[in-house]
A and B are shown apart, each in its own frame.
Chain A
């Protein structure tokens, strides 16, 4: 690597060859659209047409007016629960993959086993839960047959529970792979050293493995959080009216409600939060890398 400012002319030219195309692309397809977004958020709507303006009112409304703030918070809560649930479910499988598979072949097979549900279409998975949790669905049918209930329960579907459950289901494979990547980096000699000094499994786990893997695991959980918070499929299919999330609100604003400036404002807020999240995740990744 060389500092471009001191590099000879032909190296700087080489850098530009690499840098210009993607830079151009991102400027055209990201920076400009985001600027447009910001521009729209400053305006307002009048009689179904956009009226440009320079007011920060919309942006402020995102934080102060219902239902926006509460939807934002609810989405964040669902996102956090998803990240937590996926991490908790994912850790055992990642642990087995990293510490209890003996051959490379077995590792590969289990790895594939984890990837397959991830690859299966998102919509399909969300729909599967809808069928299972519904009043005519499998869960109720099972409970009825076992005589545990007398009539179908409606509490499984169309609420935050079903959304969180589905999202956890969707993101667990990703959590498994991201946690596995962390655990795999822990050298075997460290695990052996811990046992050699007399530590029990629990002690090795809590004093060495979890602390070492934590920054990376959290970085992955942050991405899960971001993706789950912004999801609109699960709430649309399974959320009913109790679990409307921020992306659904944005879609509504673009369509039926026709409040583009508001939609844009929410977009800007989300972009701001997203940038902050990346910085945090990045920092955590770096910290976990620096140690090894």
Chain B
């Protein structure tokens, strides 16, 4: 029996923390319907006007699209370059491997601002104009390590014997990759893509420094928040949360179907 100690006591603590995690989100959602300028008691009345204001805001909608565009590009980049890196790290030994591994992991612990500054200098030196693409390149570099970590972990757990069997049957390296390695790595890869997409969508530190004229959603939100808060912001926030929830559910449902792997059951 894996249960350790009193179930009730453990879950009392657990639910308290979870309540703490959800309370602010629920507050935001509730007050997005509040017919009052202030996000505060008393609750004046139910209204949808903040939402309708939102839908008229073209700038916001454009920035949502920009964010999606950037996120898709980031996912593509990090997969394209991250997958080979993970394979190289897991399957081979080479001089300088430890340093390569370290470089690959560095962006995780670095403040996005620092990565942004370094890249900014780089772009300036190349006289590159800032745009959605500069954002993509910046975020991609950082999120590549997410892909690499996830995929490498999965590769490590995969049995090499299936690949070796394929080779003895005469498959070329390319065929082994497409037919054996890739399908095996798919769940982790898919998870990494999901994570990369969500982080990119929400990313602000690197974006802040590398944005050109077109804004992503976080940037737009940032400028709204810095000015003044009408409950319109609550409405945006609530919509963003709902969208996130929907995305997670869809994504998880898809990944469970695709991989065919059951979630690990308790011992």
Contact = CB atoms under 8 A, between A and B. Distances in A.
Q: Do A and B bind each other?
A: yes
Interface string B80-95: 1110110110111111
Contacts of A95: 10, 14
Interface string A216-250: 00000011001101111100010000000011001
Contacts, number: 302
A30 B2 contact: no
A197 B149 CA distance: 39
A101 B144 CA distance: 33
Contacts of A112: 248-249, 252
Residue with the highest number of chain A CB atoms closer than 10 Å, among B25, B90, B118, B204: B118
Contacts of A23: 85, 100
Main secondary structure of the interface of A (DSSP, over half): helix
Interface string B28-59: 10010000001111000000000000000000
Nearest to B93: A3
A124 B39 contact: no
Interface in A187-234: 187-188, 191-192, 195, 201, 204-205, 209, 222-223, 226-227, 229-233
B241 interface: yes
Given A4-B92, A131-B28, A230-B113, A278 B106 contact: yes
Is the interface on chain B under 10, 10 to 19, 20 to 34, or 35 or more residues? 35 or more
Given A22-B81, A99-B2, A117 B237 contact: no
Contact of A36 (B10, B113, B122): B122
Interface string A11-34: 000110111011101100111111
Contact of A102 (B25, B205, B248, B266): B266
Interface stretch (A55-63, A135-143, A156-164): A135-143
Contacts of A101: 266
Contact of B106 (A97, A254, A274): A274
A22 B245 CA distance: 33
Interface size class of A (residues with CB under 8 A): 35 or more
Interface in B63-91: 80-82, 84-85, 87-88, 90-91
B190 to A, nearest CB: 15
B141 interface: yes
Most B C-beta atoms less than 10 A away, residue of A25, A116, A129, A192: A25
Q: Top 8 A-B pairs ranked by shortest CB distance?
A: A230-B111, A188-B267, A201-B5, A22-B85, A33-B118, A226-B109, A96-B14, A128-B24
Given A31-B103, A119-B202, A141-B40, 9 more contacts: A22-B148, A37-B121, A121-B237, A125-B24, A131-B40, A136-B38, A232-B205, A233-B204, A275-B102
15 contacts: A15-B94, A19-B92, A21-B84, A25-B81, A30-B141, A93-B13, A95-B14, A98-B2, A119-B247, A127-B225, A127-B229, A172-B20, A233-B205, A264-B121, A270-B110
